[in-house]
Copies of this chain bind each other. A is one copy, B any other.
Amino acid sequence: MNFNLTEEQHMLSDSVRRFLENECGLATGRDNKSSDQWAKIAELGWLAIPLPESVGGLGGGAVETTLIMEEFGRVLAVEPFCAIGVVAAQLILAADSRQAEVLLPQLIAGNFRPIVAHHEHEARGVIEHVSLQANAHGDKWLLSGRKSLVVGANAANRFIVSARTDGDLRDRAGITLFSIACNAPGLQQNNIRLIDNRWAAELIFDNVEVSAMNVLGEVGEGYRAIDHAYAHGLLAQCAEAVGVMEQALWITRDYIKTRKQFGVALNTFQALQHRMAEMLIELELARSVVYRSLAFIDAPTDERNAALSLAKIKIGQAVRFVCGQAIQLHGGIGVTEEYSIGHYFKRAMTIENELGSSHFHLAQLADLELRKSVAWVRE
């Protein structure tokens, strides 16, 4: 057990931080274009780092992903590293090893920018919720239905869509993954800006035709890969939240040391000092559950998901508190769009609500509590 970064990890953190600070500013995403920075990001190798060598990666793993994401959080970058480099990459890796060998090198090179279209409005955190239908039609499939909150869709040059080929709305079996061109006939894409200046889309499928060749993995067997990909996505988002909180905390610290009220600097007020102490405590507890999640990321699915739910609960609660209080300690200026701190709060809110709120994950853990027997408790 060792919580110290290796030298390589230190260098990775530093270089990501330097690049993002210089090249990706706050709130760059308000105009809806696919990011200019993507080619550079690919060039820097960040997409390769967490992926295995068999697909052209550098053989890093979830630890490296969290290091990168923490830096993304720190500057509130909007580039879809998590959507492409984590969720889509892990999905492809887990779904279809043959395809992975073909597709991931292109993803690493930055040419292939797949975005996973999986979320549906009524899912509310339930991964297996898939209502979009794929019906066999000769040797093709016809997809109809809706996806929403497809974050990063504006940067995509390919969608990977989860669709139901069998079973009921929340069955784990019967979910199939399809790779679809962004301009496929019958596919309507409505882009919308999110409050944290990332862009998302609602996708409406009206008998979109997909050939059998474009099924990723086995028909009906998509759930495992989705679960795997979203586990990695959730962890990445938790790490991002740590970066968000850390930066919000230090911006606030610096602000209250200079800002005066009633003739003295704000940092001399004990109530504010103690509030900031609470913010630091929450930040470090949040960081600790990210580390804990890393210990579980390769554990059996149930254990892994329980650990991730636990992390998301703590992270969600912490990030709302830290960023909310960051605004509070700033006073009026904290509520203005042109100052930075409010944007940290907005990112906090999207993190809290995107992959199942902390309340959703608390309900998941509560279910586990109910299933524990006295014997388990005693052990």
Residues of A participating in the B interface, judged by any CB pair closer than 8 Å: 269-271, 273-274
Contacts of A273 in B (CB 8 A): 271
Closest CB in chain B relative to A9 CB, distance in Å: 38
Interface centre among A269, A271, A274 (most CB of B within 10 A): A271
How many copies altogether?
2
Cα A270 to Cα B269 with chains together (Å): 7
- Residues on the B chain within 8 Å of A271, using CB: 270-271, 273-274
Give CA–CA (A257, B273) in the complex, Å.
Answer: 22
Which DSSP category, helix, strand, loop or mixed, fits chain A's interface? helix
Q: Which chain B residue lies CB-closest to A268?
A: B270
**Cα A270 to Cα B270 with chains together (Å):** 6
Instruction: Give Cα A91–Cα B271 distance, bound, in whole angstroms.
Output: 50
Q: Kindly state the separation between the CA atoms of A270 and B274 in the bound complex, as whole angstroms.
A: 10
**How far does the Cβ of A308 sit from chain B's closest Cβ, in whole Å?**
28
Sorted from nearest, which 5 A-B pairs have the closest CB atoms?
Answer: A270-B270, A270-B271, A271-B274, A271-B271, A269-B270
| Nearest neighbor of A270 in chain B, beta-carbon distance | B270
- A86 vs B5: C-alpha distance in the bound complex, in angstroms? 67
Chain B residues within 8 Å of A269, by CB = 270
Q: Which of A269, A270, A273 is packed against the most chain B CB atoms within 10 Å?
A: A270
Of all chain B residues, which has the CB nearest A273?
A: B271
Query: In the assembled complex, how far is the CB of residue A126 from the closest CB belonging to chain B, in whole angstroms?
Result: 20
Question: Complex formed: what's the CA distance from A274 to B273 in Å?
Answer: 13
Distance of A347 from chain B, by nearest CB (Å) = 29
A-B contacts, 6 listed (Cβ < 8 Å): A269-B270, A270-B270, A270-B271, A271-B271, A271-B273, A271-B274
A298 CB, nearest partner CB in chain B, Å: 38
A280 to chain B, nearest CB (A): 15
Q: Report the minimum CB–CB distance from A257 to chain B (whole Å).
A: 17
Q: How far is the CB of A113 from chain B (nearest CB, A)?
A: 43
Distance A51 CA – B269 CA, assembled complex (angstroms): 54
